[in-house]
A and B are shown apart, each in its own frame.
Chain A
């Protein structure tokens, strides 16, 4: 058994941490305040080859390992959770399905610029009436000659509007449930594709959650990803990997809160001594640190399984469930420890608390993770 990172992975963490602290962290508060999409951060990450870490160099990636990618999501999220999810959604949800199911032509046309960071990707499954019940999507795709015609709308799409390339799920056979769903690669600018409402969110305010509208949208036949009817499988397998990314994002948020608290309790004086000297606070910190460590082990265990081609669906669900709930708990506790100051925008813990909440919701709610875990255990 070996719990250590390789020297290469250690250097990835060191370099990304320095990059994140100097380039990403100083802007996090401002991005949260204005809700602007952080194009500068995306550009910087692209220049540092961070937008396609686990994909081969021949497809524009950095030719690295999955664990290094997860380290990067954690460290970027520790600095700015909004930027973390932009990276995670792009890499795990948009690049991955093209890498896994794309034809050689699709990979060359779409994966190469995505993995190089020249283009940004998004994944579009959720609809107003199909959240947890993803098989209930109503967007349709009808084959007409050499192209499909898409009609319907998607909501809460991360990177929506900012992205150039979208993995869109639509029903090619309305008579079927999950088996009637197909996946398509849709470019921004395809006729009939437009961006609708951009959500005002509680947290991760710099990231986009947008509505996508398809009105007789023309998608060339060769942009079908995988085969007709494979869409639901593609979505589910892709989300399994995405959950490791969100687990890492949650872990980064939780670590940031723990770091802030560790600093604060040594500085803040009450009753004539630093509040960190009080056992009540020490117990909080011990509990927070233990949960963060447990979350870290679950996240990297899932990443390690994926890296080593072992099954990881259940482990990814466990990692995402535990890390996101840990992030919520630790950030809430951090606000409590900071007291009145913690409730103000003078300190980052209130932002961390708002950012943490979404990790329990997107890419499968905590309840969905429990469904996945239980079905793996019970097999009934």
Chain B
């Protein structure tokens, strides 16, 4: 099976702080990570490869430093990596992003395209579905379980109040949820191989053969007028579990804050 996984490098929002004056994200010094649910997609792709053979190709669109995310994906076990990087791609909305990714993917062989459900920075969950439309293949979103049956997949997709089971023929695009698996750590050997034996191919707009007017900010129908931060109440925390655990957690939290 040839599997293409689309990933995005995002700031680690668990470490992001908001500037109290400007109300914008402080990006400086915030580590970049592979978007968590993209990692679930990658993990599942690697597991399928390990079981059934084939190849995992990982693609990202982003600035040069996104290479690090691709190297990490290679260290986890991906075989090939493409970095779609060009000034013309900058400022893309989800539509222009999907178009750029689709142009690249159409040049490759694949049975399965895998994306994360949504990115923790934009939270739109649009690129996966738009990409499937651009490629003209079926899509199944919010995937929590996959079984392979010949040239078809039996996929469980999470709904708000249960799940739905769908049988779908490949090629197909799936979007992964965090319920799908627990991504592995890249092995140390994998890191050395990612840097020494594997390659990240950088692809520009002209190499992609794409009209610069159709990508990036120019190719994006979305316009951001303004960004505002809603006033937040003091964040509450709800402890779950049995009463004993809840009380233990509460007391521990109060001790940590030196309140008791």
Q: Does A367 contact B (CB under 8 A)?
A: no
Interface 1/0s, chain B 191-234, versus A by CB < 8 A? 11111100000000000000000000000000000000000000
Residue of B nearest to A269 (CB): B258
Scan residues 148-199 of chain B and give those whose CB is less than 8 A from a CB of chain A.
185-196
Residue of A nearest to B190 (CB): A49
Whether A15 and B189, one on each chain, are in contact in the complex, defined by CB atoms closer than 8 angstroms, is: no
Alpha-carbon separation in the docked complex, A269 to B194 (Å) = 47
Alpha-carbon separation in the docked complex, A64 to B188 (Å) = 8
Q: Does A177 contact B (CB under 8 A)?
A: no
Q: Taking A49-B190, A346-B255 as contacts, is the C-beta distance between A15 and B195 under 8 angstroms?
A: no
Interface SS of chain B: helix
Whether A53 and B195, one on each chain, are in contact in the complex, defined by CB atoms closer than 8 angstroms, is: no
Q: Which of A6-14, A280-288, A352-360 contacts B (4 or more CB under 8 A)?
A: A6-14
Residue of B nearest to A6 (CB): B195
- Of residues A19, A47, A48, which shows the largest number of chain B Cβ atoms within 10 Å of its Cβ? A48
Whether A267 and B185, one on each chain, are in contact in the complex, defined by CB atoms closer than 8 angstroms, is: no
Q: How far is the CB of A30 from chain B (nearest CB, A)?
A: 16
Whether A48 and B188, one on each chain, are in contact in the complex, defined by CB atoms closer than 8 angstroms, is: yes
Whether B187 and A11, one on each chain, are in contact in the complex, defined by CB atoms closer than 8 angstroms, is: no
Whether B188 and A68, one on each chain, are in contact in the complex, defined by CB atoms closer than 8 angstroms, is: yes
Which residues of the partner chain B approach A14 to less than 8 Å between Cβ atoms? 31
Q: Does A261 contact B (CB under 8 A)?
A: no
Q: Taking A62-B188, A64-B192 as contacts, is the C-beta distance between A268 and B71 under 8 angstroms?
A: no
Alpha-carbon separation in the docked complex, A179 to B100 (Å) = 70
Q: Taking A7-B71, A8-B195 as contacts, is the C-beta distance between A48 and B258 under 8 angstroms?
A: no
Whether B188 and A49, one on each chain, are in contact in the complex, defined by CB atoms closer than 8 angstroms, is: yes
Scan residues 42-77 of chain A and give those whose CB is less than 8 A from a CB of chain B.
47-50, 53, 57, 62-64, 68, 72
Alpha-carbon separation in the docked complex, A18 to B195 (Å) = 19
Which residues of the partner chain A approach B68 to less than 8 Å between Cβ atoms? 7, 11
Which residues of the partner chain B approach A72 to less than 8 Å between Cβ atoms? 188
Q: Does B93 contact A (CB under 8 A)?
A: no
* Option from A7, A50, A268, A269 in Cβ contact (under 8 Å) with B188: A50
Scan residues 338-371 of chain A and give those whose CB is less than 8 A from a CB of chain B.
346
Which residues of the partner chain B approach A53 to less than 8 Å between Cβ atoms? 188
Q: Does B107 contact A (CB under 8 A)?
A: no
Which residues of the partner chain A approach B185 to less than 8 Å between Cβ atoms? 15, 18-19, 48
Which residues of the partner chain B approach A18 to less than 8 Å between Cβ atoms? 185
Scan residues 1-41 of chain A and give those whose CB is less than 8 A from a CB of chain B.
7-8, 11-12, 14-16, 18-19
Q: Does B51 contact A (CB under 8 A)?
A: no
Alpha-carbon separation in the docked complex, A323 to B54 (Å) = 48
Alpha-carbon separation in the docked complex, A49 to B71 (Å) = 17
Alpha-carbon separation in the docked complex, A15 to B186 (Å) = 7
Alpha-carbon separation in the docked complex, A64 to B196 (Å) = 10
Whether A11 and B258, one on each chain, are in contact in the complex, defined by CB atoms closer than 8 angstroms, is: no
Beyond A15-B191, A48-B188, 18 additional contacts (C-beta under 8 Å) are: A7-B71, A7-B195, A8-B196, A11-B194, A12-B191, A15-B72, A15-B188, A19-B185, A47-B187, A48-B185, A49-B187, A49-B188, A49-B190, A63-B192, A68-B191, A68-B192, A267-B258, A346-B255
The residues of A with any CB-CB pair to B shorter than 8 Å are 7-8, 11-12, 14-16, 18-19, 47-50, 53, 57, 62-64, 68, 72, 267-269, 346
A-B contact pairs, 15 of them (CB 8 A): A7-B68, A7-B71, A7-B195, A8-B196, A12-B188, A47-B187, A48-B187, A48-B188, A63-B189, A64-B188, A64-B191, A68-B191, A68-B192, A72-B188, A267-B258
